[in-house]
Amino acid sequence: MDHPNENMAQTNAPQEVVLRYEAPVTPIVERYVQPTPLPGRKNAPPSPSRRRKGLKIFLFCMLGLIVLSGAITALWYGGVFDRYTSYDDGRFEHRGEPNYYDSDDHGETTIKRLPNTDQVKLRYNESHGEALTIQEIYQKVNPSTVTVLTGNRDGSAMVGTGVIFTEDGYILTNAHVIAGGSECYVVLDTGEDYRACLLGLDEEKDLAVIKIAASGLPAAEFGDSDALTVGDPVFAIGNPLGVELRGTLTDGIVSAINRDVYVDGVTMTLIQTNAALNNGNSGGPLFNMQGEVVGINSQIFSTSGGFMGLSFAIPIDLAMQIKDQLVKDGRVTRGYVGVFIQEINQELADSLGLKTPEGALVTKTEKDSPAEKAGLRERDVILALNGKKVTSSVTLPSLVSTIRPGTEVTMTVFRDGKEQEIKVTVGSNKATEEKQATAANETRLGVTTRPLTKEEEKKAETTGLLVTQASGPAAKAGIRAGDILVSADGKLLKSRDDLLEQCKDNKVLLLVQRNGGRIFIPVKLQAKK
């Protein structure tokens, strides 16, 4: 299957819940960044009659606590924070809105890399034992949870969380905690710190593997995320709001499974929970009542930058597939089947004879593609892939992209009123990667576009490129889906190649048509990688 932004022909967009997330100029679903840590108040607030009288005393005490906290942190972590002076004075890099981290702006990752290997094993438990007490869960998982600190070339730093998955120091975390970094350090639960090296990172699925030179570490035990159901109790451990609060345990339930969430131009299928997560929890473990890791905490849904009861984790079954490729190859090669698909609404479901509007409707198969060779055809509805339910058209690309090329998969297909199974050998996405490479400048701009149809040109009374998705630099500048890019630096745009040609420098001036009017918008492009 092609990248969902490239060859996915999806219609009926208003019915896609995830597309509602695209409307704000700054995406609602954001990734974590470490803000200046502030110690919380330990005592009950004074009565109303004493508030004014005690205000100066309170402020003085708060100032003292902040200074003391910084001193204790510096003493406790020694040399680690000497390398991250920006952490103590709060000079963290913020792009866009305060307390948000935009993964499209980070630049090249220069953390030292290690040779790749296929000899890494982890502890995976298919048969769950008895439920543990919360205290037992914490004692089991917390030693495997680490603090990840990534220093950037400009003096800023990211603070996140990671989970140890081998006794000799392999650690899983979020890609956005690592991306753009020049050096990386890991702090164990014991307070010991190590310089970390990079095995590989996958920004599309937001996962990275790093390693420290240590042995005899407490490796986590991993469970089956496919076994989760809505309502299951789950727990999270991480560093919310700073290293001072490391090892914080929060609890909640599984609010939804297979939730399709649009992040930075990519749709991710995630576990939704109400476990309290905040800045610093990125990359930490989500685990079940047996103390088994079932997810990697990655995002929160927020309009304010803080926790609002909606948290999202990468299913561990998906994370393990990505991990295997990162450890072995240092990169991820996406699977490909070659179908164009459409979202199914209730009207289409009724027309096709489906009981519910679920699955991905095939509108076309690419010539000589794995899908065509397997016998998939127009009007087929793909309901499941290897037993995993395809809830919507955006779920399928996410599932296929994680499968290694050459792997035979089973598709459950609804055809002519009946379900049947079709074997498909997943192909390589080399063609997709080539397309992505040729669109590097478009990616730097942060938009996905297509030429206007003749009907659209007539209605809009202009030529140009229709913006289907906007993120990163373009979104920050105010460009959004539905805009028409008329020209770039004075050159009329008739094709994507025209746009790429004008995006070779670090900035571009776009003429944008919106709601019948036109405005000029200057955009500073993402740095070349």
Is 245 in a helix, a strand, or coil? helix
Beta pairing partners, 272: 256, 312
Radius of gyration of the chain (CA): 24
**For residue 515, is it left (φ>0), alpha (ψ between -120 and 50) or beta?**
left
**Shortest CA distance to 174 belongs to which of 160, 184, 164, 185?**
160
Residue whose structure tokens are 């392999």:
170
**Would you list the DSSP string of 468-485?**
EEE-HHHHHHT--TT-EE
Buried b (16+ CB within 10 A) or exposed e, 314-345: bbbbbbbbbbbbbbbebebbbbbbbbbbbbbb
Two structure tokens written together for 122? 């982890």
Catalytic residues: 176, 206, 282
* Angstrom distance (rounded) from CA 297 to CA 302: 15
* Angstrom distance (rounded) from CA 185 to CA 173: 12
Sign of the torsion formed by the C-alpha atoms of 492, 496, 497 and 503 = positive
